[in-house]
Structure 1
Amino acid sequence: MVLFDYGQTLIAEKFDGIKGTAAVLQYATKNKYHLSAEQVQAKANEINLELGRFDHEKRHLFQIEIPNTMFTPYLYESLGIKIALSNSEIDTVFWNAAAPGVPTEGIREFLRYLKNKGIRTGVISNICYAPSVVVERINRLLPENTFEFIITSSNFIFRKPNKRIFDLALEKAELQPDEVWYIGDQYECDVKGSLNAGLQPVWYIGAIDLPYTEDKSILTVADWNELRLQMENSEND
């Protein structure tokens, strides 16, 4: 089985929180202090910094998820704002505006290759959006996928590199660690996390948006066709 990370692995995204907040504020029925999207997002950034969320250098240390179903109500209600949407609807509106997302180049063809080879697939994602919103986005952007499950930290507490979230995937797949590959872009969370859980890590750097240091001990690929060719060559050896 091959398991995938979501962001910058299956789907490439560029994030603009102000655009997302501006979209959500269009549904405000009350804005007591007449706050702008910039002001609301500044408060969100302040709270996130206090909580330690989304720190690129320390994200691997943050192994318990705070889902948006908890974060968003506090953010808006503490600022005197009422939004005429459910929490999951806020997630959808915010995410679609802040980071529309596109499939990484070649991922559709690679997923088709795995399907044709009879190789099972699934997803493990560190993500704060509601699970149903994540599933909807993946199925919309990759409609031909055959993922058996999509595990989100927003639904199952633990964040990679915590071994427990990998153990959950193995239980759902009914497989042993050495029967599973895990592909992701984050070295600490995806590569080291899956390695420590006993899975075979693959470091995908084709859509990486942060500086990285090469690790020659880890299978590293820059595009999906490269990985497919490596898999085919290993079969022929």
Structure 2
Amino acid sequence: MTKPRGVLIDLGNTIIRNVSIDFNEGIKVLYRHLKKRTLTYDELLFYATKLKETTLDMRTSDSIEVDFRKYLSYLINFLNLEIDTTVSKLEIEMAKAIDKTKVIPGAKEMLSYFINNGIIVMALSNSTFSNAAIKAKLRQHGLLKYLDFVIVSSNYLFRKPSPWLFEMGLKKLNIPRSDVWMIGNDYEADITGAKECGLFTVWYNALNEPDEKEVADINIQNYYELLHILKELG
């Protein structure tokens, strides 16, 4: 085992924890931005939820991503709504309202170690929200400055564990895969998916679950463990 030259790292519940996810809060934001309220909030929520059930809620059934901006554009056009802002700006505001997050302890220290040691870091995240929305969240938490690249599945059609998303990340990272580590919390999407692409894997396993398939190369419960391992490698 040698120190990596590049790292792919998941975001949600890997370096930022999802404290709460409330779709209704996002629809409240949309309702506030309507130029004319031709329907009630409850009516808007009804249609938004129905559309969500056949689009956003189906994202985990395969490795194809649904772009929230397209969902939002369809909803606005279907209901003949007029908004007082752009879809792109509205999506960023809705994403912030829907998904409340906080930084996982040790994540900043780990990312700082990578940067200070010349290790290139790319966030590789499954998200219906756009690259701009995810960057806004990372900036809010003071994390964006630690990342050389941010790749979000909504911009690239595929979700992890699809090899297409990993290969896109590797292509942009431009480092031999033998020198790249993947760090993530999702055993199937992050660890199994990365291993099938020939990557060294670090499972952020906060709940200390059993590695039944023995896929992870390193199994950690916190990032201080990983920092210790990295420092031992010299």
Which range, TM-score by smaller chain?
0.7 to 0.9
Matches within 5 A, 1:33-72: 33-36=39-42, 39-51=43-55, 53-54=56-57, 59=60, 61-72=61-72
- In structure 2, the residue matched to 1:7 is 12
- In structure 2, the residue matched to 1:157 is 157
Separation in 1 of the partners of 2:48 and 2:205? 29
Cα drift, residue 81 of structure 1: 3.2
- In structure 1, the residue matched to 2:219 is 220
The one-letter amino acid of 1:101's match is T
- In structure 2, the residue matched to 1:25 is 31
Runs of 4+ in 1 over 4 A off after TM superposition: none
Cα drift, residue 19 of structure 1: 1.5
Task: Tell me the TM-score normalized by structure 2.
Answer: 0.86
Task: Tell me the TM-score normalized by structure 1.
Answer: 0.85
- In structure 2, the residue matched to 1:128 is 128
Cα drift, residue 144 of structure 1: 6.3
Residues 1:173 and 2:173 are matched in the alignment: yes
Cα drift, residue 137 of structure 1: 2.1
Cα drift, residue 104 of structure 1: 1.3
Give structure 2 stretches of 5+ with no counterpart: 1-5
- In structure 1, the residue matched to 2:101 is 101
CA contact (8 A) 2:138 2:144 kept: no
Q: 1:202 and 1:45, CA in 2 relative to 1: closer, same or farther beyond 3 A?
A: farther
Cα drift, residue 143 of structure 1: 4.5
The one-letter amino acid of 2:13's match is Q
- TM-superposition CA deviations, 1:64-120 (whole Å, max 9, x none): 222112100112332343322212211121121122322111111111112222221
Separation in 1 of the partners of 2:155 and 2:64? 11
Q: Secondary structure at the match of 1:181?
A: strand
CA contact (8 A) 2:96 2:137 kept: no
Q: Secondary structure at the match of 1:102?
A: strand
RMSD, matched Cα = 2.2
Matches within 5 A, 1:201-220: 201-206=201-206, 213-215=209-211, 217=214, 218=216, 219-220=218-219
Q: 1:197 and 1:74, CA in 2 relative to 1: closer, same or farther beyond 3 A?
A: same
Separation in 1 of the partners of 2:26 and 2:192? 32
Please say which of residues 197-206 and 150-159 is displaced more in the overlay.
197-206
Cα drift, residue 121 of structure 1: 0.7
Separation in 1 of the partners of 2:52 and 2:29? 20
CA contact (8 A) 1:111 1:145 kept: no
The one-letter amino acid of 1:77's match is N
- TM-superposition CA deviations, 1:23-61 (whole Å, max 9, x none): 22111112322233xx5444333333323x346xx82x4
CA contact (8 A) 1:33 1:79 kept: no
